Amino acid sequence: MYTQSELKQQVAQAAVDYVLPFLTPDSILGVGTGSTVDLFIDALAAHKHAFKAAASSSERSTARLQGLGIEVQDLNTIERMDWYVDGADEIDAALNMTKGGGGALTREKIVASVSDKFLCIVDDSKLVERLGAFPLPVEVIPMAKNAVARQLRALGGNPVERTGFVTDNGGLILDVSGLSIEDPAALEARINNMPGVVCCGLFAIAPASVALIAGQQGVRTLSGNGF
């Protein structure tokens, strides 16, 4: 019986094996944030000469990448990337995700938006029938915290400020439990539209392209529309 951290290790290695054939010496690879991605970065380091540089979604990942000798390129210098690799807190069969458990959701969504394909790497505890058991992280501008919280309550949610946490962008995180997420893309658009919201942790308007899911029987691949 593999532990969750062993499954994360397996999916991290599987992700390196998955993206490696796509990499060329000119490639920029988008890199997410979290404990699964930390393992991915560690495994990627053995192949750092197979690609040019990474685009990073957090100070945490940047430090880890650079510490292993992988160049990190400013996103403003990058027009497009083929692949962005990141974990998730929940993912459904349509490859809609909830992200932001590590608080990096905004930069994750930005870097993912510059990539053609999103490879999601998770252990199978993250695969759900319907998103919503994991409280939805929402990054807010500090002065808008209470105004946004009231709007989230009006949607049936119970927002709780993540204590002692400031994002890489100087924002706060509201973790919202109790939401009924019937239509993830519609809810994502609705929350994104609230003044003061920087980013909502739903990744459904642009879901993952492919998910690698590690379980006791091995790592399986789920492909989204068009893949």
Any idea which residues carry the catalytic annotation? 108
Q: How far is the CB of 179 from ligand 5RP (least distance, A)?
A: 17
CA 33, CA 7: separation in Å to the nearest integer?
Answer: 17
**Number of chain positions touching ligand 5RP (CB under 6 A):** 17
The CA distances from residue 67 to 44, 125, 210, in Å, are: 12, 30, 28
Strands 158-161, 81-86: pairing is unpaired
CA 223, CA 227: separation in Å to the nearest integer?
Answer: 6
89 near ligand 5RP (CB under 6 A): yes
Binding string to ligand 5RP for residues 104 to 133, with x set by CB under 6 A, is what?
Answer: xx--x-------------------------
89 is in an annotated binding site: yes
Q: Which of 30, 32, 184, 196 binds ligand 5RP (CB under 6 A)?
A: 32
Interface residues for ligand 5RP in 165-184 (CB under 6 A)?
none
* DSSP states of 27-73: -EEEE--SHHHHHHHHHHGGGGGGSSEEEESSHHHHHHHHHTT--B-
- Nearer to ligand 5RP by Cβ, of 35 and 169: the residue is 35
- Nearer to ligand 5RP by Cβ, of 52 and 162: the residue is 162
102 is in an annotated binding site: yes
Q: How far is the CB of 139 from ligand 5RP (least distance, A)?
A: 10
The CA distances from residue 57 to 19, 64, 111, 201, 213, in Å, are: 18, 12, 6, 14, 21
Contact 209, 119 (CB under 8 A): yes
4 near ligand 5RP (CB under 6 A): no
Three-state SS for 174?
A: strand
Q: How far is the CB of 7 from ligand 5RP (least distance, A)?
A: 10
Which residues fall in the annotated binding site?
33-36, 86-89, 99-102, 126
Residues in contact with ligand 5RP by CB under 6 A are 32-36, 86-89, 99-105, 108
